[in-house]
A and B are shown apart, each in its own frame.
Chain A
Amino acid sequence: MSEDTRLKYGRAAEAIAIPLMAVLVSMVLFGGFVAAVGVDPIELYQLMYRGAFGTWFSWQNTLQRAAPLLLVALCTALPAQLGMVVIGAEGALVLGGLAAMAAGLPLAGAGAPVIVTQVVMAAAGMLAGGLWIGATGALRHRRGVSETISSLLMVYIAVAILNHMVEGPMRDPASLNKPSTPAIGEAYMIGDIPGMDVHWGFVLGVVFCIAAYVLMFHTTFGFAARMVGGNVRAGRAAGLPVGRLVVLVTMLGGAAAGLAGMIEVSAVHGRANATLAAGYGFTGILVAFLARQNPLAVIPVAILMGGIGASGGLLQRRLDLPDATVMVLQGILFVVLLASETLYGRLRLPVFSLKALLPTASGKA
């Protein structure tokens, strides 16, 4: 085996083995936690499996929940290629949903064709999300403001804007104790994939992840972005438009999250209200990190996280556990996963001698 193929396989083996190990360690830790509060971990994991992937019904539920996660994770994964940590996808999702309603309601009211309305809504959602997160990229580049903190602060601002709009200017007078915008109407909603209880948003999410992967790993644009991510100074020296790349990539990420918001309002809720801020944006950060910021790996990880989320209801009913149980599992998983980052390039996998690969595999420290 040549040194090159060894390197390739060694890295691939690592990229699969380390997250798997992290997942196993987290499962043991979480099992210990639930055992400490008096729940049988084996029974819990069996229930989780059943609630997530055990039946066709639960599979559909899982995919339904994975749909927004696919898109929202891109909001973290794409800027990460540039070395940025964006954690404000929730804000882009919320505003994307709101903008989609703002654009779609007048069209639906005027009786516009369904497909036109949906395309305009998607465009509005992507534009709103793109501008929102793109702003954090611009602030980072122009003023050196940390995109991590600015994007997170903007989540709270976005939620306030949503509340303001659904309580005031966009409120449907008929929505009494749960203020909402008017409903878009069944005819204008995104339907299900034929033969399934899963809406088209899932397909859209998968397509976006694949497109993002191709863009980042098989185009010059993506190569330039990743080069800047590796070393900004080298990127500048090579004449790359660093500022434009930063703004464009953050905009793309935000547009994906904005589209997730559009899908939530037009496939799930039918209207915009406070339930839009359901925490998908924050789970998306975890998905992106678990996928090691690779848009293609986002697909299976989002399905896994969607499954964990989908099983939450069953855990509540059967084991009488609080709804935060899923959050605890996610938190443990996230912490263990980040700690496992330290193993990359140091793990001695039995098949390959990684010692020879050390200098290259350690990458950017």
Chain B
Amino acid sequence: MEDAALGWWGVPLAVIAGAIRISTPFLFVSLGECLTEKSGRINLGLEGTLVMGAMGGYGTAYLTGSPWAGVLVAGFLGMVFGLLHATICALPKVNDIAVGIALMLLGTGLAFFLGKPFIQPTAPHLPAVDFGFWSDVPQIRSALQINVLFVIGALLAVAMLWGFRSTRAGLIVRMVGDSADAARAMGYAPDRVRMWSTMAGGFLAGVGGSFLSLYYPGSWNEGLSSGQGITAVALVIFARWNPLYCFYASLLFGGASALGPALQAVGVTQGYYLFNAAPYALTLLIMVLASSSRRKLAGAPGELSVTR
């Protein structure tokens, strides 16, 4: 077997490859959630958006033959869910966390309902760029088969960091997130800013979902997302609402998710299921270490309900 040729060296390589491959949905959801949370609202419904995006993207790609049309439709579906979340949360006395949970349930239900016909057929996949052409080792080559969406996500993280720091729009989002009253005093409508932020966040989460069904694992079924959306929400807190840290954190989570399968490939089967829990346990651990009951987290938007 080819895996045996590398022996134990295959493990770190598989982890790195997995980090790049698995991190993309984490990256998109966390960037989207980062934007939403920066505007002072938390959208836990992105898990549902992710599943909805995966289904819609796959269905579209199957029907039109174009994976990129799938990505676009997935994004628009995500935007619709973002709009729904924003509209309901703008009503007085409505809890944004609870609405998120409700939309998680609705999105998952709708995706399972409408996605039934797409479980069997195969849709065209998203293309990958071969960065490993210089190597003869098949594992290295496959590890460096990098999807375009990953590259877009990485660039987006940098762009968002810059955007929050130095653009007018970024400043408005941050101001609304830190103090709705201050924003109102300056003549901005917090609810409208939050609506656009939540919609953009939903768009990104939908795109992240389409990566799941159109590239890796690369098919639509009901077990496709097992909490990646919600892990990504926690990841934003861990990343301290910094888009670039979201990128690093996504890589870390992708790597943690790849650890179990990588160890299994070299014959370590003990505790396979426990390794599956690694990303969740890691998130929890980091949240515990990073939080404190006495002070606010550095960088936390002042209006955010989970940090109050």
Question: Do B233 and A149 have beta carbons less than 8 Å apart?
Answer: yes
Residues in A with CB closer than 8 Å to B307 are 144, 146
How far apart are the CA atoms of A145 and B283 in the complex, in Å?
11
Interface: A347 (CB within 8 A)? no
Interface: A330 (CB within 8 A)? yes
Interface: A20 (CB within 8 A)? no
Question: Do B107 and A156 have beta carbons less than 8 Å apart?
Answer: no
Interface: B185 (CB within 8 A)? no
How far apart are the CA atoms of A286 and B101 in the complex, in Å?
9
Interface: B95 (CB within 8 A)? yes
Interface: A328 (CB within 8 A)? yes
Interface: A141 (CB within 8 A)? yes
A164 — nearest CB in chain B belongs to which residue? Answer: B273
Residues in A with CB closer than 8 Å to B291 are 143-145
How far apart are the CA atoms of A339 and B103 in the complex, in Å?
12
Residues in A with CB closer than 8 Å to B288 are 139, 143, 145
Question: Do B105 and A331 have beta carbons less than 8 Å apart?
Answer: yes
Question: Do A322 and B116 have beta carbons less than 8 Å apart?
Answer: yes
The prevalent SS among residues of B at the interface is helix
Residues in A with CB closer than 8 Å to B270 are 168
Interface: B227 (CB within 8 A)? yes
Give 7 pairs: A residue, B residue, CB < 8 Å, sorted on A.
A146-B306, A154-B280, A286-B105, A322-B116, A331-B108, A339-B88, A341-B95
Docked complex: A143-173 residues within 8 A CB-CB of B = 143-146, 148-150, 152-157, 159-161, 163-164, 167-168
Interface: A338 (CB within 8 A)? yes
Q: What would 14 more interface pairs be, CB under 8 Å, given A143-B291, A334-B101, A339-B88?
A: A141-B293, A146-B306, A148-B306, A149-B306, A157-B281, A160-B277, A161-B273, A164-B274, A326-B109, A327-B105, A328-B106, A328-B113, A338-B99, A339-B91
Interface: B276 (CB within 8 A)? yes
Question: Do A331 and B110 have beta carbons less than 8 Å apart?
Answer: yes
Least distance between B305 CB and chain A CB atoms (Å): 9
Choose one: A149, A326, A328, A344; the contact of B230 (CB below 8 Å).
Answer: A149
Residues in B with CB closer than 8 Å to A143 are 288, 291-293
A147 — nearest CB in chain B belongs to which residue? Answer: B306
> Which residues of B come within 8 Å of A, CB atoms?
44, 84, 88, 91-95, 97-99, 101-103, 105-110, 112-113, 116, 226-227, 230-231, 233-234, 237, 270-274, 276-277, 280-281, 283-284, 287-288, 291-294, 306-307
A337 — nearest CB in chain B belongs to which residue? Answer: B102
The prevalent SS among residues of A at the interface is helix
How far apart are the CA atoms of A363 and B292 in the complex, in Å?
29
Residues in B with CB closer than 8 Å to A351 are none
How far apart are the CA atoms of A342 and B88 in the complex, in Å?
9
Residues in A with CB closer than 8 Å to B306 are 146, 148-149
B116 — nearest CB in chain A belongs to which residue? Answer: A322
Question: Do A160 and B234 have beta carbons less than 8 Å apart?
Answer: no
Interface residue count on the A side (C-beta < 8 Å): 51
Question: Do A341 and B94 have beta carbons less than 8 Å apart?
Answer: yes
How far apart are the CA atoms of A157 and B256 in the complex, in Å?
14
Known: A150-B284, A150-B287, A156-B226. A322 touches B112 (CB 8 A): yes
Choose one: B112, B116, B230, B234; the contact of A327 (CB below 8 Å).
Answer: B112
Interface: A317 (CB within 8 A)? no
Docked complex: A313-328 residues within 8 A CB-CB of B = 321-328
Interface centre among B107, B234, B284 (most CB of A within 10 A): B284
How far apart are the CA atoms of A185 and B256 in the complex, in Å?
40
How far apart are the CA atoms of A152 and B42 in the complex, in Å?
15
Question: Do B113 and A325 have beta carbons less than 8 Å apart?
Answer: yes
Choose one: B93, B103, B109; the contact of A330 (CB below 8 Å).
Answer: B109
How far apart are the CA atoms of A300 and B288 in the complex, in Å?
38
Interface: A357 (CB within 8 A)? no
Choose one: A146, A157, A160, A328; the contact of B110 (CB below 8 Å).
Answer: A328
Question: Do B109 and A331 have beta carbons less than 8 Å apart?
Answer: yes
Residues in A with CB closer than 8 Å to B97 are 85, 148
Question: Do A289 and B98 have beta carbons less than 8 Å apart?
Answer: yes
Interface: A285 (CB within 8 A)? yes
Question: Do A153 and B230 have beta carbons less than 8 Å apart?
Answer: yes
How far apart are the CA atoms of A286 and B99 in the complex, in Å?
11
How far apart are the CA atoms of A155 and B103 in the complex, in Å?
18
Least distance between B81 CB and chain A CB atoms (Å): 10
Interface: A196 (CB within 8 A)? no
Choose one: B106, B110, B281; the contact of A334 (CB below 8 Å).
Answer: B106
